């Protein structure tokens, strides 16, 4: 696919040709990024009577990540703020407009579509998440926070999730769908 001579282990065989890991890695979306270098999607959004500034929210996000990092360095324990960090990251990087507090079914909207945000903490080894199938969301945004407080996110259509007939739907950050 890319004209490179392949050795065993340098890539994968697909559809009658070798594809190098270098090429595969160049195609991956949303590589993890350091919280301090995150660029906001937009500057301002209106938010239920508040002049919401994504730039100010980015400052709050960086402060929270710094606090969580200092807490871990001081105690060896993670500060349990993952859900909030994941949703603030979604506001900054994906343009999530969050609902008011305690609205069931979804966390907000992106481009007018209902979105549920699930955050995977550094304490978890799996990239799989479960979400209640009764929720009224149209898309699932999975946010992964790594052990060095790097962030990665991916947005999925609800129809791409497994388990549609059951109580829970399953999604996985690394693959589009999961058979968990």
Q: What is the pTM of this model?
A: 0.71
* pLDDT value of residue 44: 55
Runs of H (alpha helix) within the chain: 21-27, 54-75, 82-94
* pLDDT value of residue 30: 56
* pLDDT value of residue 1: 42
* pLDDT value of residue 47: 58
Q: CB atoms < 10 A from the CB of 48, how many?
A: 9
pLDDT tens by residue, the chain, 180 residues: 445 454 545 555 544 555 555 655 554 455 677 777 777 666 555 556 666 778 888 999 999 999 999 999 999 999 999 999 999 999 999 999 988 777 788 899 999 999 999 999 999 888 888 888 888 899 999 999 999 999 999 998 988 887 655 677 778 877 543 333
Q: Where are the domains of the chain?
A: 30-172
CA pair distance 18, 37, nearest whole angstrom:
35
CA pair distance 110, 114, nearest whole angstrom:
7
Q: CB atoms < 10 A from the CB of 5, how many?
A: 7
Q: Which CATH fold topology does 30-172 show?
A: ECO RV Endonuclease; Chain A (3.40.600)
Half-sphere exposure of 90 (CA within 13 A, CB side): 29
Nearest one of 148, 146, 147, 114 to 131, comparing CA atoms: 114
């Amino acid at each position: 696919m890319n004209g490179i001579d392949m050795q065993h282990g340098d890539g994968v065989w697909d559809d009658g040709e070798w594809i190098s890991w270098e090429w595969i890695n160049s195609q991956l979306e949303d590589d993890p990024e350091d919280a301090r270098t995150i660029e906001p999607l937009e500057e301002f959004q209106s938010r239920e009577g508040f002049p919401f500034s994504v730039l100010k929210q980015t400052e709050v996000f960086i402060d929270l990540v710094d606090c969580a990092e200092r807490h871990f360095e001081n105690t060896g324990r993670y500060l349990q703020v993952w859900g909030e960090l994941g949703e603030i990251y979604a506001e900054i990087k994906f343009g999530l407009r969050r609902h008011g507090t305690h609205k069931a079914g979804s966390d907000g909207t992106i481009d007018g579509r209902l979105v549920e945000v699930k955050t995977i903490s550094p304490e978890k080894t799996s990239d799989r998440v479960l979400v209640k199938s009764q929720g009224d969301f149209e898309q699932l945004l999975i946010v992964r926070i790594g052990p060095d407080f790097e962030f990665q996110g991916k947005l999925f259509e609800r129809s791409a999730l497994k388990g549609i007939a059951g109580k829970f739907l399953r999604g996985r950050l690394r693959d589009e769908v999961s058979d968990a």
